Structure 1
């Protein structure tokens, strides 16, 4: 079996673009699908896939480890998030091919089943990205949170830490406490709440001040309280916080996670299997996290194929905690992609179809061509004009 080509298919899902990757083989009807979506970097990722394609033509797609070595080592320059996202999408497709070729779901090939269902959570707005990033009013927060719970979820994530700098002023801290109190009162103690800081505090002290406001309302975890890449800063936050701390969505590969493991800089790590190098790299990260007494809650605000890849990972990963998902983000979600993402309450069921068990209607996908995405970062400016982290 040999790889004969790699194609990309861009589908605009209103607030973001999905980048699907199709790896073709010389076996009739045997191909694989993956996803390489990256917000605001669509054309760059598509170009990276095109650049990588010649490295894999003629290779056996089932030799996944070897294909990864080729893509990483023969690119010469170390790959950042764009290259790693392109590789992740291609690697997903290789697993899909492998599973189809042997008639087994991908989770079987990743080590087999370690759980009977996969717990998931979603965001405010059930896929509407404006609701995710622009809900700072307590009335709207309550309404949108109740809508999530009414849809069967028992866990949700919010992003209402204000655009910050090196200090956290008293009105901002009080408003965060009011929002969290409103949220907890609305959903009760039976619903887990995760608060995504989005790396907005520019100092450890500001992050801790906001965390102190949240702790009385028992969040499941506080995510990315400071900008990624400084394991010592994360360690200080984790040590001083009485709330579990999560991070990792912007780290690429196990090398960038290693300082976090060594410093015990978090309680939960969040590799994005769509960005960090694929499923094999994700399994390495998960194994190292388990050795460091950390759980894994994969990041995934991406499209349906990224969700399916995460599902297979979650089924086979012992220290998995909970999965972020964005299914139903657009009304025509199921018209373009057929997936095994079947949710009952706040759990996905375990898929049984060979490979990833997905299929894409390329004609339906063509009705939603690339469009420039909404740039949320334009709002991340303080009153004096200072540009801060989104």
Structure 2
């Protein structure tokens, strides 16, 4: 249904739902609804407050003026950026694109230049603390049809750690590679747990396993270390899940040290900001693999970006990920088949907006229970705090 008059934002509602997600519903004065996912994992209440504060700028505004609303929310505060504020903006942006697509009867990717592919490759997380466990889990995922997998590189790691710890990490990854063969893409996430000195050691040791990429080999605040790291590995380097807006990616791209960027569309500023970041990356010959260990609205938003972005090559998704205890990716959808994975790919969504329909009754019921998910706190053997 086409709308010839402004669609004014009338109402914002927030739902904190298990396992660790926050959903936003924006309704216009003529009843069009848009959904988004503004959340920082472990800080859902903080982001919820930020969205509520931003509501003062939103009520009564034309929901179709997405760029102007983004600029207003980003620039209206003297302090800007960072995980909380840009995650709040991200969920709002997603919901506004959902409204716009629904009002025009088209998927969001059609509004951002149209589709560039028919299907998108996805990868699955695998767990297992021991080499044999990880290898078995990998074989199960391949049997389920996935052609690409990702696993954590290590458990806790000290600033400078032992040769034994390195050996254990390498043996676990070697076991997975042997179990699935070279025909399966295998990515390894350092998770920012590894500091510069040990990142060099691990990256060099893992080169022989022909990895799809190594992810966050150092914390984003230490990205200057990537210059040195590129001298120790030929494996593609991926990072970016903890960078916010195009300005956060600017120095990373100009440094020439990254091969794959991983903007998270619930953190970095939303769909439109993600598309701008992807275009910047394309100019630097860098691929895009959106970060997405979150819920169905983040995944739906990511796929809308993927299908209009030439340099997007693979998509993270959280089905059966270890975070999703008791509630999983598909549980809040009216039609879970929109995320049906076949031979390691997901088909291009065709429904308007984000392409998913949220089961609102289930969301409201789940929000009554809510969640209190927080990151675990890890400590070294000497009692000092280490990276999770």
| TM bracket (short chain) | over 0.9
* Distance of 2:382 and 2:331 partners within structure 1: 46
CA contact under 8 A between 1:19 and 1:35: conserved in structure 2? Answer: yes
1:199, distance to aligned residue in structure 2 (A): 1.1
Matches within 5 A, 1:185-200: 185-200=178-193
Q: Runs of 5+ in structure 2 lacking a partner?
A: 1-6
Q: 1:23 is matched with which residue: 16, 20, 26? A: 26
Within 5 A, what are the aligned runs for 1:59-138? Answer: 59-124=61-126, 131=127, 135-138=128-131
1:277 aligned onto 2:283: no
What number of residue pairs does the alignment pair up?
A: 374
Runs of 4+ in 1 over 6 A off after TM superposition: none
1:336 to 332, 335, 348: 332
**Cα distance, 1:331 vs. partner?**
5.6
Q: Which secondary structure does the structure 2 equivalent of 1:157 belong to?
A: strand
Q: Which position in structure 2 is the counterpart of 1:128?
A: none
Does the 8 A contact of 2:102 with 2:352 survive in 1? yes
1:362 deviates by 2.3
Q: Does 1:370 align with 2:370?
A: yes
Question: TM-score normalized by structure 1?
Answer: 0.92
SS at match of 1:336: coil
CA distance in 2 between counterparts of 1:336 and 1:195 reads 29
Residue by residue over 1:345-364, the C-alpha shift from the partner in whole angstroms, topping out at 9 and shown as x without a partner, is 21110011111122222221
Contact 2:12 2:26 in 1 (8 A): yes
- Superposed, which structure 2 residues align to 1:242-253 within 5 Å? 242-253=234-245
| 1:230 to partner: Cα distance | 3.5
The CA RMSD over aligned residues, in Å, is 1.5
1:316 matches 2:312: no
Range moving further from structure 2, 30-39 or 233-242: 233-242
Q: Aligned runs of 1:1-390 on 2, under 5 Å? A: 1-13=7-19, 17-28=20-31, 30-124=32-126, 131=127, 135-203=128-196, 205-327=197-319, 329=324, 330=326, 333-338=329-334, 340-368=338-366, 369-373=369-373, 375-376=375-376, 378=377, 380-390=378-388
Cα deviation, residue 216, structure 1? 1.0
1:325, distance to aligned residue in structure 2 (A): 0.3
Structure 1 stretch displaced more, 300-309 or 4-13: 4-13
State the TM-score, normalized to the length of structure 2. 0.93
Gaps of 5+ in 1: 125-130
Contact 2:194 2:218 in 1 (8 A): yes
Structure 1 residue 374: deviation in Å? 5.0
